[in-house]
A and B are shown apart, each in its own frame.
Chain A
Amino acid sequence: MTEEIIIAGFGGQGVLSMGKILAYSGVMQDQEVSWMPSYGPEMRGGTANVTVIVSDERISSPILNKFDTAIILNQQSLDKFENAVKPGGLLIYDPNGITRQPERKDINIYSIAAADEAAKMGLSKVFNMMVLGGFLKLKPIVKMENIRKGLEKSLPARHHKLIPENEKALTIGQDLIQPVHVL
């Protein structure tokens, strides 16, 4: 199994940390992982993205231009990465702030209204975990128990009290994800 994922959105949405938790969870179940962030001018311009690869085998290139899954959290990222999903692949997007809907017909498209739901529930800080929960419902590449271990490893100890909230967000995300176009 090799899953090649791009997560992209605004800085501050938890794009990099979502990728980090996913990568750490992969490590916890003894898989190979790589986490390659954008750290250049685009990061300073407000958008952030990270390529995460989880695999049973040694990972070759950490830099990719085609992905099994794209998790998209703003319009710029949708414009940039919609065409980078492999045919038959998966695109997940949060409709908040999306003005142009995805148009591909050869991929599976799901939406997750996590930004609205998180704001409504006062859980904005764990918005990214809702999105991750939605993704894992469709592609359970890491086990929930390993996500917990991944959270323990990637969060500093002073934030460990937030782990239950993160886990709740994961569960909510699983219910929130909706099909838009399924092959």
Chain B
Amino acid sequence: MGELRLMKGNEAIAEAAIRVGCDGYFGYPITPQSEVMEYLMAEKPYETTGMVVLQAESEVAAINMLYGGAGTGKMVMTSSSSPGISLMQEGISYLAGTQLPALIVNIVRGGPGLGTIQPSQADYFQAVKGGGHGDYYTIVYAPASVQEMADFVKLGFDAAFHYRTPVLILSDGAIGQMMEKVYLPDPIPRRTEEEVISQCPWASTGKPPTREHHIMTSLDLDPAGQERLNLLLQEKYRVIEEKEVLYEKIDCDDAEYVFVAFGLSARICQKAVHLAREQGIKVGLFRPITLFPFPKKPLQELGKKVKGMLVVEMNAGQMIEDVILSVGFQIPIKHYGRFGGIIPTPDEVFRMLKEKIIGG
């Protein structure tokens, strides 16, 4: 089961990266995620596993270092918070277009603009609907605990390499800053050069005279060629939607009403489920773990059984669009959100369920 520690979410991501054999971290400090790089700098994995830890001159530089590192088949990652992730969008689009694997962590803070350093979920649209230009998706994992912060590093790298696509971990300032118990995985050694060459036959690993150049680019000036790439990407996203959906259902079996929430909001709603059940009201919680691919089918099934849904997000109503696209208009689906770094309380969301759904 690995080693037991009490850690911050940000530290758990950093420690997990070392343990899963990550080759390089490139980042630029920003609250509330600076502990990721601080932890790595303190642990000095470059002296033990050989993992590179580098403070870039900007977020734009960091994401392009990922582009270079990923092109050589290395396991590379970055982390930032909302304004920094906005700066990285061009690079993420290039990674998707060039079909390169990389892990990007967004510890979301309130926006828009410089916003606030307090937690938020207002980057859902940016994470799930593309973010950068062009027709692409990133696989998006939304951890709700420090344990999942650690676990999703491995999950994220595995998916990134399997599908040759950038993967995003979408968390928030509260989960980044809070400490919980975490079981860390046993360390896996970094891959050797030979392993990288055999596992990543597409990568730029030094050209022997026996093969053609590996050309990695998202540029194809011939529209027919560019359309072929787009069709290939879309085919990949359909497979991801088929195979990679993750979600959790809590107390949904006999539920008449459900909360739908991800990440920190899901934890708050889970407490509200207890409060409701203490009063004899049958309430459940549906928690999407992957936001792309969105758990459309399980949510659609649940929609046939319950009388109403309250979507709780720390934003003005983003995931609710995907919930309505999945469930339709047969039952009332309402939204409750707080913004700008305000975290709703369990009492508050329970009251809103009663006001907007049960009473309404």
Residues of A within 8 A of B (CB): 20, 23-24, 27, 32-37, 39-41, 59-66, 153-154
In the complex where A39-B173, A40-B117 touch, is A65 in contact with B178 (Cβ < 8 A)?
no
Q: Answer whether residue B32 sits at the interface, using C-beta atoms and an 8 A cutoff.
A: yes
* Chain A residues with CB below 8 A from B249, complex form: none
* 9 residue pairs bridging A and B, Cβ less than 8 Å apart: A23-B179, A35-B178, A37-B178, A60-B267, A60-B268, A60-B346, A61-B267, A61-B345, A62-B264
**In the complex the two chains form, what is the Cα distance from A21 to B272 in whole Å?**
28
Distance in Å from the Cβ of A61 to the closest Cβ of chain B? 4
- Which B residues are in CB contact (< 8 Å) with A154? 6
- Minimum distance in angstroms from A139 CB to a CB of chain B: 20
Cross-chain contact A39 with B179 (CB below 8 angstroms): no
Task: Assess whether B177 is in contact with A36, with CB atoms less than 8 Å apart.
Answer: yes
Q: Quick check: is B341 within 8 A (CB to CB) of the other chain? A: yes
In whole angstroms, what is the CA distance A3 to B271 when docked? 14
Is B117 within 8 A of A35, CB to CB? no
Interface contact B181-A27, CB-CB below 8 Å = yes
Instruction: Give complex CA distance A63, B179 in Å.
Output: 12
* Contact B6–A64 (Cβ < 8 Å): no
A63 adjacent to B341 (CB under 8 Å) = no
| Chain A residues, Cβ within 8 Å of B32 | 39
Contact check, A24 vs B6: say whether CB atoms are below 8 A apart: yes
Within the complex, which residue of A32, A36, A60 is in contact with B178, where a contact is CB–CB below 8 Å?
A36
Hey, what's the 0/1 contact readout for B108-131 against A, CB within 8 Å counting as 1? 000000001110000000000000
**A35 B347 Cβ-Cβ under 8 A:** no
The minimal Cβ–Cβ distance linking A47 to chain B, given in whole angstroms, is: 15
Quote the shortest CB–CB distance from A51 to chain B (angstroms).
Answer: 9
Chain A residues near B117 (CB-CB < 8 A) = 39-41
In the A-B complex, list the 9 residue pairs whose CB atoms are closest, starting with the nearest. Answer: A60-B270, A61-B271, A35-B179, A60-B271, A65-B345, A36-B178, A61-B268, A40-B118, A39-B177
Q: Which chain A positions have C-beta within 8 A of B31?
A: 39
Residue from A33, A39, A154 whose CB has the most chain B CB atoms within 10 Å: A39
Q: How far is the CB of B347 from chain A (nearest CB, A)?
A: 6
Contact flags (1/0) for B251-277 with A, using CB distance below 8 Å? 000000000000010011011111000
In the docked arrangement, what's the CA distance between A41 and B118, Å? 9
Q: Say yes or no: A64 contacts B346, CB within 8 Å.
A: yes
> Do residues A63 and B180 form an inter-chain contact, with CB atoms below 8 A?
no
A25, closest chain B residue (CB) = B6
Complex interface: chain B residues within 8 A of A20 (CB): 6, 179
The answer to whether A35 and B180 touch across the interface, beta carbons within 8 angstroms, is yes
Name the residue of chain A whose CB is nearest to the CB of B176.
Answer: A39
Contact, CB under 8 Å: A34 / B271: no
Scan B24-41; emit 1 where CB is below 8 A from any A CB, else 0.
000000011000000000
Contact B6 A63 (CB under 8 A): no
Q: B174 at interface (Cβ–Cβ under 8 A)?
A: yes
Residues of A close to B274: CB separation below 8 A: 60
Q: How far is the CB of A81 from chain B (nearest CB, A)?
A: 14
* A153 and B271 contact, CB distance less than 8 A: no
Contact of A62 among B118, B178, B347 (CB under 8 A): B178
A37 surroundings in chain B (CB, below 8 A): 177-178
In contact, B268 and A63 (Cβ under 8 angstroms): yes
- A62 to B269 CA separation, bound complex (whole angstroms): 11
Q: Is B61 an interface residue (CB 8 A)?
A: no
A24 CA / B116 CA spacing, docked (Å): 30
Contact in complex: A62, B174 (CB < 8 Å):
yes
> B343 at interface (Cβ–Cβ under 8 A)?
yes
Q: Which residues on A sit within 8 Å (CB–CB) of B180?
A: 32-35, 59, 62
CB distance from B220 to the nearest CB of A (A): 46
Query: A35-B6, A36-B177 known; 19 other A-B pairs, CB under 8 Å?
Result: A27-B181, A34-B179, A35-B180, A36-B174, A36-B178, A39-B31, A40-B116, A40-B118, A60-B268, A60-B273, A61-B271, A61-B272, A61-B345, A62-B178, A62-B180, A63-B174, A64-B271, A65-B346, A154-B6
Judge whether B178 and A40 touch: CB under 8 Å: no
CB distance from B157 to the nearest CB of A (A): 27
B 1-28 contacts with A by CB, 8 A: 4, 6
Closest to A36 in B: B178
**Cα distance A59–B6 in the bound complex, in angstroms:** 14
* Assembled-state Cα–Cα distance A39/B178 (Å): 10
A63–B173 contact, CB under 8 A?
A: no
Decide yes or no: A64 and B341 within 8 Å by CB, A20-B179, A39-B177 being known contacts. Answer: no
A61 near B346: Cβ-Cβ < 8 Å? yes
Residues 323-342 of chain B, each 1 if its beta carbon lies under 8 Å from chain A, else 0: 00000000000000000010
Are A40 and B6 closer than 8 Å at their CB atoms?
no
Is B347 touching A66 in the complex (CB atoms < 8 A)? Answer: yes
**Closest B residue to A32 using CB positions:** B181
The residues of A that contact B174 with a CB separation of less than 8 Å are 36, 62-63
- B residues near A64, Cβ cutoff 8 Å: 271, 345-346
